[in-house]
Structure 1
């Protein structure tokens, strides 16, 4: 199943696509504008599947020009830095012995095709296509990556937009460069885990103004999805609806000799195999 949200910002309706047909599921989600922790804790995925099989959900037209919102209202947003060998090398960083963890605020999340704001004073706004992992059940302290994978509700395309000067050159933690408004476009779909045969075999691509900048595969992750979830569970409890951005492959502006950071008017397009596409126009805040 592929969950998505559509409609004006703040007034989205939740829907699901299954075997080529889209269904309205507001009878199951109520006033929610996206999938969230309570929906997952209340067996929302199973109830949606049962309703589809029972034929009780109204069909909708997914081909309309209506805005697509984020499919998830996340709890925590946990991010893994330098998790691809080629990305670590391009930034001249040491290969991490353990996952590098930072956090993004939930209010950075916007729809997959919404505009992204370049912060005031920014000179180094950068792009990062990432595989997002959505937790489906509570995870406390596991050492088994296979057990950790069983806790995944689904996967989503995430854009971990970053301001490198704020992140690296202004002291302190990375958070200043990761939490600017609109810095985490998410979607278009939350694709349930059963739809993805192997999360370590997904192609990620990103282009800027039509020029391909990133073209990688999750097979090159230093720490795979199961390892990341198990690692995080040793330091904090993971709850349904928590989102994990699992790192980006090589090709970011910071790693290029000419460092073509984003400017107002630039268009970024990104996709992950089986999870859909995003398209954002960057503009000044």
Structure 2
């Protein structure tokens, strides 16, 4: 099942996507998950109702516009750790994103006025479907995943390096591109393993890897996080980026106004955003 969130009447609504048409489920994704609704039943009813709308006519939103937690992993692909001159971490490098930093597919990523060191990071996103218990076993962790989507963890590198914590460089407004669809976990390999992931800048492939290359796969990441914090319905995990980021190229390649960046993960789809100068 493929789902997409749109904005209607100032509110987010999730719907099932069939071909080029969107069928409303009558609620937001986070609300449906928090209330334990059977999204498959809602989707079947929506399709039978037949009141689909061409997705091209709708304003797409981030798949989950309002997650309580967005937990991101740094250095989670072996070649990316190597290109940054670091050893593989023994424990995931974790940081948080704010929901206010999110931007939808097709909407502009803003180039900040205060920096020219804007970088791209093609990533797999995980959406949690139900509350993960603190004592969850790694072999059970994937049962708490609702589905998978795409993310571009756009990073303001000079601000990221200003402090030992990465928070400020990862939370500029309109830099966390997320969507446009979520594919439910039952339609993908367990943990979304074995899928090709690419990042393309102005049509040129700049990142090309496989999700098997993750140091901390989805099941292990969930188990480790559950030792420390509550992961609940609609929370998002952003699973790190492969090698090829702009800061590691010689010379560095920074995103600028007029660029287009695409994230593609096999069997999920493509996330596309154009770069636009920040408004005065």
Q: What does 1:129-208 correspond to in 2, within 5 Å? A: 129-142=122-135, 144-168=137-161, 170-198=162-190, 199-208=192-201
Gaps of 5+ in 2: none
Query: What TM-score do the two structures reach when normalised by structure 1?
Result: 0.90
Give CA-to-partner distance per residue, 1:191-248, whole Å, 9 cap, x none: 1111112311111111111211001110000011100011111110111110000100
Contact 2:23 2:46 (C-alpha < 8 Å) held by counterparts: no
Aligned residues: 276
Counterparts of 2:102 and 2:49, CA distance in 1: 28
Query: What TM-score do the two structures reach when normalised by structure 2?
Result: 0.91
Give CA-to-partner distance per residue, 1:98-125, whole Å, 9 cap, x none: 1111000011111111100112211211
Give the superposition deviation at 1:94: 2.0
List structure 1 runs of 4+ shifted beyond 4 angstroms. 20-23, 53-56
| 1:25 matched residue in structure 2 | 24
Alignment of 1:49 onto 2:48: no
Contact 2:129 2:232 (C-alpha < 8 Å) held by counterparts: yes
Q: What does 1:1-285 correspond to in 2, within 5 Å? A: 1-7=1-7, 10-17=10-17, 20=19, 22-26=21-25, 28-29=26-27, 32=28, 35-36=29-30, 38-44=31-37, 46-49=38-41, 52=44, 56-62=48-54, 64-73=56-65, 74-142=67-135, 144-168=137-161, 170-198=162-190, 199-285=192-278
Counterparts of 1:264 and 1:9, CA distance in 2: 30
Give CA-to-partner distance per residue, 1:113-148, whole Å, 9 cap, x none: 110011221121100011100111111323522211
What RMSD in Å do the two structures reach over aligned CA positions? Answer: 2.0
Q: What is the SS of the residue equivalent to 2:242?
A: coil
Contact 1:23 1:58 (C-alpha < 8 Å) held by counterparts: no
Contact 1:142 1:148 (C-alpha < 8 Å) held by counterparts: no
Contact 1:115 1:282 (C-alpha < 8 Å) held by counterparts: yes
